[in-house]
Structure 1
Amino acid sequence: MTAIKTPADCQTKDDVRAEIDRLDAELLALFAQRHRYVTRMAQIKTDPHEARDPVRIEAVINKIRDRSLALDLDEDQAELVWRTLIDWNINYEKGIIAARRRE
């Protein structure tokens, strides 16, 4: 197994790309894990309108913005990523719930 390099340890573009690829694989695995929870939530909910919970959405976004600042990450960029993810999840949940109700 290759040692993980910090950004400062990366001396070439290939070094940086290898670390980005490694992180992308880890992020993808985490997104897949998160997706399984979203799928479970869709199985629990009974009405497609339950998929969008504005209070919960804003609570999540506020946490993401706060955590981003603590990590020295642009909070607007993080919010955009999470809002996109949340919107996709809402549509996914609605589809599962609606399909189940048609059965």
Structure 2
Amino acid sequence: MMTTPGAEKAAADSTLQALQDEMSDVRRVIDELDDELVTLLARRQRQIERAARVKPGLGIPARAPERVDEVLARVLGASRRESLSVELAMNLWTTIIEWSIEYEERLMGDKAPKGDAQSSDGGERS
């Protein structure tokens, strides 16, 4: 079957439009996911703020290496289960944890216990 140049152009235009529509959908979904991630991270930050209020009374410092290891191990398992890049997960959570510890320390101020926690309930608890 022969096609005319006009038919070929219409088919190409149709294919291009379908790709543009799909790209628009991809961007819309990414934007929605970004909004959800911001909401979840804000909820996580509120828990860091709670921890900063509770820890001084328990004598728990903001940084507890055992808790950091526990969080990273749990995230590693979850990322594997969800087929998320382990490299991405570890980089993101290491950054989140370090920020969280520094934020807790700022919030705790002079009330912040010094040194590493000896108990398993210390550290980056959120």
TM tier, shorter chain?
A: 0.7 to 0.9
Number of aligned positions between the proteins? 92
Any runs of at least 4 consecutive aligned residues in structure 1 with deviations exceeding 2 A, and if so which?
A: none
**2: CA distance between counterparts of 1:30 and 1:73?**
17
Q: Which residue of 2 aligns with 1:80?
A: 91
Answer whether contact 1:65 1:76 (CA < 8 A) is retained: no
User: How far apart in 2 are the matches of 1:14 and 1:52?
Assistant: 43
TM-score of the superposition, structure 2-length normalised? 0.67
Runs of 5+ in structure 1 lacking a partner?
A: 1-10
Cα deviation 1:31-85 (Å, max 9, x = unaligned) = 1111111001001121897100100000110111111111111112101100100
Of 63, 69, 88, the residue aligned with 2:74 is: 63
- Alignment partners' CA distance in 2, 1:64 and 1:23: 19
Match of 1:6 in 2: none
Equivalent pair of 1:49/1:94 in contact (CA under 8 Å): no
Aligned-pair Cα RMSD in Å: 2.1
Task: Map 1:23-102 to 2 at 5 A.
Answer: 23-46=33-56, 50-98=61-109
Q: Which amino acid aligns with 2:65?
A: P
Matched to 1:56, the amino acid is R
How far apart are the structure 1 equivalents of 2:61 and 2:42? Answer: 22
Q: Find out whether 1:13 has 2:17 as its counterpart.
A: no
Distance in 2 (alpha carbons) for counterparts of 1:17 and 1:60: 31
> Following the alignment from structure 2 to structure 1, what is the Cα–Cα distance between the partners of residues 111 and 63?
17
Q: Mark the runs of 5 or more structure 2 residues left unpaired by the alignment.
A: 1-20, 113-126
Report which structure shows greater RCO (CA 8 Å, sep ≥6): 2
Higher Rg of the two aligned structures: 2
Distance 2:71 2:82 in 1: 16
Q: TM-score, normalised by structure 1?
A: 0.81
Match of 2:124 in 1: none
Query: Which of the pair is proportionally richer in helix?
Result: 1
